Amino acid sequence: MKDNKISKIITYVITALSLIGIILLVRVLMAGEETVKSDVDVANKVVSPLVYFSQYLLYFSVGITLFLSLSGLFKNPESLKKTLLSLGVLGLLFLGAYGLSDSNVVLDNADFILAGGEEGSSTNRIVGTGIWFSMILGIIGLGFFVADLVKGLIKS
């Protein structure tokens, strides 16, 4: 009985949010593309509310998702242990990627140093870490894919 009541409340909230979004979108469409592009005041009056509404809706959704995920983890200690172990492994892989990255100079096609790409720049190191981290995770994922494929072929 309680689930049905919550379901109805959620349906009403989603309907209200959808109507607000539709009204804001119709206001933008009624203003016209050329008017919105050329008149800053009109753009601020009709586009800004739609953008702010979308932003707050995104923040609310992310917040609710994080809250529900974390509350589910804390209710199940076994799942919490697995999650913390997985985060630890990812942290170790990230440290390995950081060790593989460098902070060498970054040049463009004409051999000029890009802004922020000077040698020793922390930005270079962070970007290199991200690239190496992605490559490491991709190789691990590919390894599991191939292992699963071979395992499936052997079973057949």
**Domain finish residue from 54, 75, 96:** 75
Q: Which two tokens stand for residue 18?
A: 């959808």
If asked whether residues 83 and 107 sit together in one domain, one would say: yes
Q: Which two tokens stand for residue 63?
A: 């917040």
Q: Give the pLDDT confidence score for residue 1 in this predicted structure.
A: 54
Has residue 106 got a pLDDT over 60?
A: yes
> Looking at this protein, which amino acid is placed at residue 89?
V
If asked whether residues 111 and 88 sit together in one domain, one would say: yes
If asked whether residues 70 and 84 sit together in one domain, one would say: no
How confident is residue 44, by pLDDT bands cut at 50, 70 and 90?
A: confident
Has residue 100 got a pLDDT over 70?
A: yes
Q: Which long-range contacts (CB under 8 A, 24 or more apart) does 39-47 make?
A: none
**Domain finish residue from 41, 58, 75:** 75
If asked whether residues 62 and 113 sit together in one domain, one would say: no
If asked whether residues 84 and 60 sit together in one domain, one would say: no
If asked whether residues 86 and 96 sit together in one domain, one would say: yes
If asked whether residues 141 and 81 sit together in one domain, one would say: yes
If asked whether residues 70 and 88 sit together in one domain, one would say: no
- R_g of the chain computed on alpha carbons: 25
- Summarised one tens digit per residue, pLDDT across range 129-147 is 999 999 999 999 999 999 9
If asked whether residues 105 and 132 sit together in one domain, one would say: yes
Residue range 12-38: average pLDDT? 90
Stated length of the chain: 156
Residue 88: domain span: 77-155
Burial 42-66 (b: 16+ CB within 10 A, else e): eeeebeeebeebeeeeeeeeeeeee
Q: Give CA separation, 59 vs 12, 51, 62, 69, 77, in Å.
A: 20, 12, 5, 15, 28
- Are 101 and 132 in contact, with CB atoms under 8 Å apart? yes
If asked whether residues 90 and 149 sit together in one domain, one would say: yes
Q: Which long-range contacts (CB under 8 A, 24 or more apart) does 64-67 make?
A: none
Q: How many domains does the chain have?
A: 2
